[in-house]
Every structure is written in structure tokens, then in C-alpha cells.
A and B are shown apart, each in its own frame.
Chain A
């Protein structure tokens, strides 16, 4: 891109939008919405430009040379602090296949969520300002290559999210917002501890030959950079690396959310306004699994290998447990929330296999879950906007009244069920191919196939209870989708169908990075282990 800082632009464009929105007069609600929409459309365009200029053959992961659109300069530098030496933090952005997929997803989902935010009428300015701030934070997490920077974006996301749920949410919004905030904060604290531990364990060699402690994620992936006395050095014989790994993992697992840290999710979803649910399920949950793949895996390859069975186990629990609990829900939105728990389980299972096919499936599943679940929450939003209730048993026979809407529902539900020819199938299938091929995770993969059945069960049952049967007379005047709603569903439907028929469009993007990651893990699990002997 010839030095044009496109990643910074795509990340901080929403901040610019926020400033614009804040400087608008209070009563210009419509203009505020249009400004936000323009910003998110620009973001989508930038993401597409990124994709068009993306070199599919470069792996990234730990290799600074094969990251793309890199921007790197010294951000903070304080020389000569007693025994630390130079304290420095780099402003270091870059993408590889893994983050590219997430950047695309973020841009798309945010755009859709903006359309869905059109119905917000309470303190519009504040809402969209926070919304745009959230957008920057999410984008930042996916492009940051410095742990410190990553952490800042990660934390930055909490603030707008807290207010968006706490102010624009449903009846129990305060409870949900605080629960979300505190739960995520617990994870952040764990992450912070591990981050500091890592900082004092490894030294990066700078261009001038001096060695400094570093937050550079890529430097932390190299076992040679660890000092002999470092707390988290592979040379350290204690199980301290294992403990650090688990701490960091829990930090990410809360976000996924992984059983048993998942109960904030249903509450947050039920209380959050529709567009925020869309963002939450579509993008925020991915930050957990993204973090594991970006940070936990390559920095602790030997521990990952040691714990892969447990990761797969939790994946399996998520799949089956989430599906069974979803089966018992009477609140439409809560049901979809639990279906997210179940579907994110596939991501964990695929990742745990450590095989290229499984990880490909896992990342693809992250993307697909983002688009499909966004649709599902929009679908809930449509009935909630009209009926002001989400009780599954309050409806019935909506198909007669709203044929277009029901058509969308059928596509989205079957995508969630994993119907072949829609995108969810390929990713789930790849997860199973990967997890079954590896001896360690094979049994868990076999048990997890039950999720295919249970997923169909709760989805079809819901479809029947809400949309089929005799029309509940109460809703005889319910209107079918309007143009804005159709516009909001169509891009997602196109993506879901297109990737179902031509999955290579996404898999080619991931391929080099995943191959690089698995090769790297295989080699370095060894070297991390050997150096510890």
C-alpha cells in the first residue's frame, strides 16, 4: 500500500466519526445516524481494499516479514529506568490471514449493526458516539501486534459496551451491564498479569544491537528471546508457564464464552438492544478465540500441546451443554444466546486439534458464526420491535403473516443448523475432519457430533413454535420486513450462501497463516520443550 497507513485509518476512522457525531447539534438524530452509516460503509470499503491488496501466500503469525500493511514505530520510550533498562512500547499494527478474516467480519457486522441501530431514539448522539468508539476498539484488537497495544484496545472495548448495555438495554440492564463488565475485567486482570510476566521474561534485540524487555508479540513467540532468569522463560522448571497459560486462557475463555464462564452472555444478550447483541455475538465473542490463536498458541506452543485434550473437552461441553440448555429456553433471544455458546464450542474443538484442517475450520467457523448469529439476533429484533415480547410461546403462525421474513428466517436457521450449501456446514465439517483425524481429540469429536442433532432440534422446534401452525390472532396486523430491514439481511444472506457454495473464498485467505501456525507450533513445541530440559 505504498506507505499509506491503511490499518490505522480503518481502526481510527470511527474515532473521527465519533468526534463528528459529538460535534453535531443534539436534535439532528437523522444526520447522526447517516454520519455513522457513512463511516461504517467507508470501513467496509477499506476492508475490501485491504482484501484486494492482500497477498494470500504470506503466513504471518510469528514472522514479521510476512505480515502485511505493517505500521511500526516507537510509541512510548522511557530510557534508563533502574534495572529495567529502556521501557518501550511499539505502535505495531499488521495483518495476516487470521486477522484479515476478523477485520472483514468486524467491518461487515458493524455496518449491519448500524442499519439495525436506526430504531434507536433515546440519546441518539451518545449512542452512536459510543458505538463508534466500540468499533475502533474491536478493529484495534484484531490488528494490534504489540501486547500492550492489544491490551489497551481490549480494555477500551469495555467502556462503550458497558454504557451501551447499561443505558440502552432492557429492564435488567444495570445487572447485565455490571455483570458483563466485571466478568470481562476479571479476565483482563489475568491477562494483564501474564502480559507483565511475559514482559519481564523476554528481551528483544533492537536494530542497534541493544536488548530490551518487550511487549512485541512476535518477539515473545521466539524461545531464543527468553532470558535465563525470566519468570515465564521456558528454562524455568516450575510449572509457572502452565499456570500463566491457564490464567491467560481463562481471560480469553470468558470472552468466548467457554463453560463455566458463560453465564454473563445470556444476560448481556437479553438486556442489550438488538444492534449491540449483533456486535456482541458477531464480533466480541471472536476476540476470545482470536486471542487464543494469536497469543496463547504461538507463545506457549508446548503447553498448548499438553492441554489440547482439555481444550477439546471444553469445546465438547460447550457444544452439547449449550445446545441442551438452548433446548429448554422459552425466551427467543436467550435461546439464540445459548446457541452461540454451542457454536463457539466448535471453534474450540477445531482449534484444540492443532491440525491445519481443524484450525482452518475453527477460524472459518468464527467468521460464519459472526455472520449467521448476527442474522439470528436481527431476526429476534424484528419480532421484538413489533411485538415487544420474545417469548417463544407468545407467537405462532408468523409464516402466514410475514412470508419474506420467514424466508430469511429459514435461511438463517438452516445456516445455523449447518445445512450443506450454506457456510456453517463447511466450517463445522472441517472442525470435525480435523478433530477426528487427531488421536487425542478423536473421542471428543465423536461425542460432539451429537451437537449436529441437538442443534437441529432446538432450531427446528423454535421455527415451528414461532413461525408455523395457526397464526396467533394477536399478531394479525404484524408487518412484513420493510426495505431497511431487507437491506440489513441481504448482505449477510449473500455471504452465507456464497461461502457455502464457494468456501475457498475464505479458506484461501486463511490457508497460508494456518499452515504457518501449525508448522510453527509443531516445531516450536519441540524447541520450547528442548530448551527447558
Chain B
């Protein structure tokens, strides 16, 4: 199959969902069955993605396909040269795998929603939004440049906003949507600044051209610090989208959206976009940037896991679990364990989607009850939901024979090697602690929800297994959570095609002195750049550290997972210790965890209240000071004109009137002489002549 065929197929995959969106928005109300069209579109998209995956991963493994065209041509400009904004598609192995993941989960969620959203008054609207989301997410996956990445990035933000606030009549849902969008925007500003730095220096947005330029030794503003800054700023986008500390606060609230949406967007695909982006820009990340990324990821995974252990809302537990697992992926990329970071993204997508869809099944059976303290004993009522949920739990806990074990084990190994080579041992400590916590909170969830006796008899009595349209997606996802899809050997991911063949670590383009020692390759010629596809050869030191750590790390992670599971059974199944008693004894810690480390309160008191307060102060300033000056000037003008009015009236006009008065008075006096009698005039004349004679004395 030729390259151009694959590109065409990928464009069809991209455009099918948005086509469905357009149709549903305009005709959804009139034709309520149109959702079937959108579902079919996603089904077709999945089939096409499977074809691309098969061709690409089966035969064209080493080959990257790029297709691009000019979107905006600015012509020759001073400062920028001949400037063009180019759009394009890049299909490498990462893309092919992501296409499969996104289309399949999206398709399953479309199917599942037929049952879950049945009877909702905005059913068509819901499917329209799902279509919009699928389009934007596929765009992120397919694009070959940062500008379109940013465009689709914002569009998934929009669809996420619309879907979280889908039941906008509920204030909490509307609030959550707004919060998600705004918190994401904080990260996006960073990402945008990162793009600005790169664009200003390289006048292009395409990954490959940027990497080529860096590889050729052209650093942003000729400074290594700016390269690190660009990496960290771009990563800020991922911090927002993938809900990493300190921007993780939006994801738990996002659970206000319909549960299938949580599965699709807020667990499996969109939140993984951040991880995907970091994987895309991986070649340009310096050691400092990577360290920041590893620390943020590690801390996030720890933070979220400590919160998950005390939550009572089934979706909140899963939400924090998602944050924690995303932290894992980010951490893996940070420590240079590139393939495992991405591998975990894929395995996590299946089992986390499964967990959410399973929880949706439970929630619907319990008549929209989400509090696990109202559940219990559902195992008997909902066997399919229970067993599939259990498979996912085993996978996420890192139990052998399941997918999660393979990806998690490799990832932990990476942190272990990283810790021992660079001395940043905090990172493996986070990594391994989270294993215990994950196994514990997941089994706590399973035991309280499905095992034991029902706590709310009435709701329990009404509960029943969900219809086939919902359980079949669960079964599909459960099957995907077993090991054999990824490696023939349940204990070794390295022998699997995923790690050994499909996901080579890309070549770093960062100058050697800005890389970790273990990521330097011996005798690498500066300026020699290959992007994508070519495996980096880690230093022998690194390989050796990996090799040494292999078995200890694996055994440790299995033991820790077992410990977590055991503790959960000890407390919740066998009830050897009363959890309330524990909560009382460690009250401070318990409260801290239950209240999510008080992040919401903190942010609200500082950023939110600060901004709104500043707005109020400035609004006051605007209408009283700025406008006050204007009105003051008007007042002064009025007063001046009143004064000049008075001056005019009394002085200027006064003078005029006075002169009028004076001349009038004079006239009054003089008219006395105008008698009209000739005799009088003759007398006046005679007198006048006499006076004149007297004055001039001509004699």
C-alpha cells in the first residue's frame, strides 16, 4: 500500500467524525436516529485505523510518512524570510498506534453510550460532541507540527468543556467545565510561549524542521537556557492537559460529565495527549527539562495516589488514579524511558477506559449513586461488570499476566536505573511507593463496591446487569488488558514487539553537553541529525544499570503490588482493622488526603479570589479615577464656563449695557435742548459765536 493511500485513509479517519458532528448539530433534533450514523463513522474509522496499523506496523516499520501543504503563504518578509504556515500529517509508529487506540475506544464509547445515555433529552447533541472530540483528538495524533497541535489541543479543550458541562442545568457541572477550560488555558499559555520561542528562532512549526535546526547547533536565541525553557514551556501544555501537578485540580471535577465521556476523554485519550506531546518533542528536551518533567510526573503520581486511597466517590477514585498513572507516564518520559512511557499510555488507555465504563455500569445499576459506601455485594448482581472490572484492577495494580504489569515494570526499571545513575533517587521512590498505593486503593474500591454485603438494600434490590450494548465494550476492553497482545512472555516486555520493534527511542538533537551522561552516545558526530525512527543507543553504562536492576526491580514491584492488595483485603475484606479507627488515629493525614491536600481551597483563595478582586479594584479605579478625571474635567469646564458666563453677564455685558445706559442718559439730557423753537436756536447760535470769539480773540 502506497504512502499516499495511507495518508488518504488517515485523512478520512480524521474527517469522518467532524462530518458526523456537522450533520448531528443541524439535523440531530429532527432525526433522532442519527447517532447511529456517528457510531458507524467511528466504526469505519476504526477499521481504517486497523488497516493503517497493520500496514505501518507490519511492513513499513522504519518508515515515516509525511504529507504537507501550505495553509498561509506570507511571501518574503523582513525578519522572517519566506514565511509559510504549513499543515501536514505525519504517520509514524506512534501515530499508527494512537490512531488505533483513539478510534477503538471512541467507537466502544459510542456503542456503550447507546445504552448509558438512553433517554437523555440532548442525545443527538451528545453524539455530536463526541464526534467533535474524536476529530480534535485524531488531529492531535496526526499533525506534524506544533501550530496544528495547538489548534487541535484547544479544540479538544472545547469538546471537553462542552461534555463536562453537558448537564449544564447542574451548577456543579457548569462550574467543572469552566474550571477545566481555564486551568488548561494556564498550561496552554506556557505551551504557546514555547511555540513562540521556537517559531521566532526557526520560522517553522514542524517538529522535524525544528529538530533539524537544533541538531545543526542552532539554539534558540543562541542560548542553552532558552532551549531548556522552550522544552519546559511546551511541557506546561502537557501539565494542563494531562492533569499534572500543579494543574491537576480540574480532572477530578471533570467527572461531572457523563461517565462514558470520563472514560473516553478524561481517562483514556485526551488526558494522554499531554504525554503524547511530550513524546513528540522528546528529541529536543535537555537534561534539565527532562529532570523537571520526571520530578513533576513522579510527584504527581504520588500526590494523586495518596488522595485516591480515601475518596468515596467511585469516579473520584478513578480520576485520581488516572492522574497518578499519567504521572507515571510523564515520569517515564522524563527519565528517558521513552518506549515504556508510551507503552503505558496504551495499556492504561484500555484498562482505565474499562474501569470507567465499568463504574458507569455500576452507577446506572445503582440509579446514579456514585458513593461506594452505598454499594456492596454487587458481584452477584452484575457478574460481567464485576469480572471485567477485576481484570482492569489486576492490570492497573501491576499483577503479572496482565498488560499493566508489562508496561509498569519496564517503566519502574527505567526510574530505578535513572536514580542510580544520576542520584535523583526521589524519583524511583515515588515510583515504587505508588505501586503499593495503587494496588491498595484499587482493591479497596473493588472490595467495597462488589464484595461483602449490600449496604443499601433498596438500591441493591433494583440493581441489575447492564444491557449487552454496554457489557460487550467491557469485554472487548478486558480482553485487551491481558499480556499476550503486547509480548509473548508475560514477564518480559522486551521480548514483545511493542518495545523491541515498534517504539524505538528517538534520537536526541540536544547538544551533548546538555544531555544526561547516560543518554550520550559514544563518538556521536555533532550536527548529525536523524529524526524519528532511529533508535538512540544509550550509553553502555545505562544498559548495564538496566540489566542489573532488571530482576530486583521486577521482584520488588510484584512484592509491593502484593502488599497493597493484601492490605486492602486485610482492612476491607477480612476487616482485621477498622478503617474508621485508622482514620481517627491518623486524623490529620486522613483529612489531608480526603480534602485533596487542600489544593482547591488554596487556589481559590489565591489565584481566583486574587484575580476577581483585582478586577473589582480596577473596575472601581476605572469608574472613579479614570472616568473621575474625565468627569472632573467636565466639571471644571462647566464651572469655568459658569464663571465666564457670569463675567460675560455682569462685566462684559455690563459694560455694554452701561454704555447703552450712558448714551441713553446723555440723550435724555441733550434732548432738553432740542426744543424745536427757532428763537431758542438763534439764542444758542449767538451765544456760541460769542464764546468762540472770546476763545479765539481774532481782534
Contact = CB atoms under 8 A, between A and B. Distances in A.
Interface of A: 179, 182-183, 259-260, 262-264, 321, 324-329, 355-357, 360, 397, 399-400, 407, 410, 414, 419-421, 425-426, 432-433, 436-438, 445-446, 449-450, 452-454, 456-457, 460-461, 463-464, 467-471, 503-504, 507-508, 511, 515, 518-519, 522
26 contacts: A179-B630, A182-B634, A183-B630, A263-B623, A263-B630, A325-B622, A327-B612, A356-B77, A399-B168, A410-B162, A414-B158, A419-B155, A420-B151, A420-B155, A425-B151, A436-B200, A456-B185, A460-B161, A460-B182, A464-B174, A470-B169, A511-B74, A511-B75, A515-B76, A518-B78, A519-B78
Interface in B44-100: 71-80, 83
B150 A522 contact: no
B360 interface: no
Contacts of B193: 446, 449
B165 A468 contact: yes
A256 B611 CA distance: 25
Contact of B199 (A421, A433, A454): A433
Contacts of B165: 468
Most chain A CB within 10 A, of B174, B177, B199, is at: B174
Contacts of B161: 460
Contacts of A522: 78
Given A355-B79, A515-B75, A457 B168 contact: no
Contacts of B150: 420
A467 B169 CA distance: 9
Contacts of A414: 158
B74 A360 contact: yes
B588 to A, nearest CB: 34
B615 A419 contact: no
A407 B154 CA distance: 18
Contacts of A357: 74, 77, 79-80, 83
A334 to B, nearest CB: 9
Interface string B150-164: 111011001001100
A407 B162 CA distance: 11
A436 B611 contact: no
Nearest to A183: B630
B189 interface: yes
A320 B25 CA distance: 35
B627 A263 contact: yes
B189 A452 contact: yes
Contacts, number: 145
Contact of A328 (B83, B178, B197, B612): B612
Contacts of A329: 619
Nearest to A400: B169
Contacts of A504: 71-73
Nearest to A397: B169
A6 B270 CA distance: 53
A469 B174 contact: yes
A263 B633 CA distance: 13
A468 B161 CA distance: 13
Nearest to A414: B158
Interface in B176-234: 177-178, 181-182, 185-186, 188-189, 192-193, 196-197, 199-200
A149 to B, nearest CB: 30
Contacts of A445: 196
Interface residues of B, number: 55
B368 to A, nearest CB: 18
B369 interface: no
A446 B174 CA distance: 30
B262 to A, nearest CB: 19
Nearest to B200: A437
B33 interface: no
B618 interface: yes
A468 B192 contact: no
A519 B79 CA distance: 11
B2 to A, nearest CB: 28
Interface in B599-620: 611-612, 614-616, 618-619
A469 B168 contact: yes
Contacts of A461: 178
Contacts of A400: 169
Nearest to B622: A325
A262 B200 CA distance: 33
A338 B181 CA distance: 22
A438 B170 CA distance: 47
Contact of A469 (B74, B169, B181): B169
A432 B619 CA distance: 26
Contacts of B611: 324, 327, 454, 457
B171 interface: yes
B71 A263 contact: no
Most chain A CB within 10 A, of B79, B178, B186, B616, is at: B79
Given A179-B634, A328-B619, 14 more contacts: A260-B626, A327-B611, A329-B619, A400-B169, A425-B154, A433-B200, A449-B192, A460-B178, A460-B182, A469-B169, A469-B174, A503-B71, A511-B74, A515-B76
Nearest to A264: B630
Contacts of B253: none
B175 interface: yes
B79 A453 contact: no
Contacts of A470: 169, 171
B549 to A, nearest CB: 43
A328 B619 CA distance: 6
A254 B609 CA distance: 32
A61 B168 CA distance: 51
A191 B140 CA distance: 50
Contacts of A471: 169
Contacts of A182: 634
A356 B80 contact: yes
A495 B30 CA distance: 26
Most chain A CB within 10 A, of B76, B78, B614, is at: B78
Nearest to B621: A325
Contacts of B188: 452
A437 B616 contact: no
B659 to A, nearest CB: 35
A436 B80 CA distance: 12
Contacts of A469: 168-171, 174
A421 B21 CA distance: 15
Contact of B72 (A397, A425, A503): A503
A453 B612 contact: no
Most chain A CB within 10 A, of B71, B78, B175, B615, is at: B615
